[in-house]
Amino acid sequence: MLSLEEAQSRAEDLVAAARRAGADAADAIYACNASTNVSVRLGALEDVERSEGEEIGLRVFVGQRSASISASDMNPATLATLVERCIAMAREAPEDPYAGLAPEDRLLRKKLPALDLADPFEPEPADLKARAMIAEEAARAVMGVTNSEGGGAATGRSQVALATSHGFAGAYAGTSHSTWVSVLAGTGADMQRDHASHSVRHIEDLDDAEAVGTRAGHRAVARLNPVKMESGVMPVIFDPRIGASLIGHLIGGMVGPAIARRSSFLLDSLGEKLFDADITIIDDPLRPRGLRSRPFDGEGLPVERRALIEAGVLTGWLMDSASARQLGLEPTGHASRGGSGAPGAGVTNVHMEPGTLSPTELTADIQRGLYVTELIGMGVNGVTGDYSRGAAGFLIENGAATRAVSEITIASNLKDMFRTLVPANDLVFRYGMNVPTLRVDGMTIAGG
């Protein structure tokens, strides 16, 4: 794997070559990844996989025309052809009045923030195998677990470098360590499956493998013997591991490209109170060891912690430079970039601030409701906000989760859900997007 300096130099060299070949402006992004993945099943080694790859993407501008192209072959002759083809494509592209690099006066000029994303320790395949074995064994040891879909452990390192023709160049690295296991409980047609996993930047922050396995086993057993549930309108409690999807739908409606296309259910909601005044949602790209942390955005702009929802109010849109120009606004440092194509917009480490009630207190007054632990399908309309998804979980009776339920549908509208949403006080940072246990009143439940 290249050093960070070599990765940055590779991106800078491609941009310089594009300028020499006639591009008015250009940017390049280089990414390389290396990972080792070990999987086991029923106590036996199933697979050991080692993968390494690199990709470089080039975007060029000829006047108001632009094109992008990517390659995984770093041979100098291949890259020279890449430059020629990209410029030729740009010359034939339609003019776009909003195309262009990020504003030069907004580029990150300071030293990159230290985010502690790279762990120097790299476990050996034997260590990964041992961790995977422990996790699966712990899951299979839970009474009621009858089979396994397997367990695994992985480690990886990635590097990203970005260079632009108007003065930005930067690179950063990150590592990952993870453990997971998926098992089945019961027999025949009554079998139920569930899983558990944990991923971190530094291995010292990783959950104990036995704890991961035990969690998976208990989750699978708890889902046995699901009952039918009567249809009706009732409160729904979202488990933290799936509640973040609600915030994902919010963010999908906040991105600049969706607003510019007028294809968002939040189109006329800027400055509107969408949630209760006690609710704040934060995007924090600078969290040390965060799973989605980054020192700059996909266009070389600085990033910062920002409230997306503050005291219940929608604070603004998430914009790359093109959508900002189209809307007559400024980019917000949320540009995201792949190897090919123009930048889009997205978030990093997002969380909802916790509330004041415990999960037990949150459900205490629910006579009949639903505790959701799994969502199925993608029945969400990003233009209207209409929400309808398959679900599984547990029936809530007299304030407590009781019998397992499955094959049900929950439905509402996202804006209506946001207005009644109440967070518990059990926020834990485990994923790229984190929420506490959430309660949403007045959802329509269609039983199986």
- Please determine, for residue 39, whether its predicted confidence score (pLDDT) is greater than 70: yes
Residue 418 token pair: 């946001």
pLDDT at 448: 64
Cβ–Cβ under 8 Å, residues 82 and 112:
no
Q: Residue 221 phi/psi, 5° resolution?
A: -65, -40
3 state SS for the chain: CCCHHHHHHHHHHHHHHHHHCCCCEEEEEEEEEEEEEEEEECCEEEEEEEEEEEEEEEEEEECCEEEEEEECCCCHHHHHHHHHHHHHHHHHCCCCCCCCCCCHHHCCCCCCCCCCCCCCCCCCHHHHHHHHHHHHHHHHCCCCEEEEEEEEEEEEEEEEEEEECCCCEEEEEEEEEEEEEEEEECCHHHCEEEEEEEEECCHHHCCCHHHHHHHHHHHHHHCCCCECCCCEEEEEEECHHHHHHHHHHHHHCCEHHHHHCCCCCCCCCCCCECCCCCCCEEECCCCCCCCCCCCECCCCCECCCEEEEECCEECCCECCHHHHHHHCCCCCCCEECCCCCCCEECCCCEEECCCCECHHHHHCCCCEEEEEEEEECCCECCCCCEEEEEEEEEEEECCEEEEEEEEEEEEEEHHHHHHHCEEECCCCCCCCEECCCEEEEEEEEECC
- Please determine, for residue 307, whether its predicted confidence score (pLDDT) is greater than 90: yes
Domains of the chain by start residue, with CATH? 4-221 (3.30.2290.10), 226-448 (no CATH)
Cβ–Cβ under 8 Å, residues 179 and 131:
yes
pTM over 0.85: yes
CB under 8 Å, gap of 24 or more: what pairs does 403-407 form?
A: 403/225, 403/226, 403/227, 404/192, 404/222, 404/223, 404/224, 404/225, 404/226, 404/227, 405/226, 405/227, 405/228, 405/229, 405/370, 405/447, 405/448, 406/223, 406/226, 406/448, 407/226, 407/448
pLDDT at 339: 79
In angstroms, rounded to a whole number, what is the distance separating the alpha carbons of residues 75 and 94? 30
In angstroms, rounded to a whole number, what is the distance separating the alpha carbons of residues 33 and 279? 37
Quick one: average pLDDT of 110-116?
A: 95
- Please determine, for residue 264, whether its predicted confidence score (pLDDT) is greater than 90: yes
pLDDT digit string, tens, across residues 308-327: 999 999 999 999 999 999 99
pLDDT at 61: 97
pLDDT digit string, tens, across residues 191-225: 999 999 999 999 999 999 999 999 999 999 999 99
Quick one: average pLDDT of 414-423?
A: 97
pLDDT digit string, tens, across residues 376-402: 988 899 999 999 999 999 999 999 999
- Please determine, for residue 435, whether its predicted confidence score (pLDDT) is greater than 70: yes
The larger pLDDT score, comparing residue 190 to residue 400, is at 400
Residue 172 token pair: 């950063």
Residues contacting residue 362 through CB under 8 Å, at least 6 positions apart: 237, 355, 422, 424, 437, 439
In angstroms, rounded to a whole number, what is the distance separating the alpha carbons of residues 314 and 169? 33
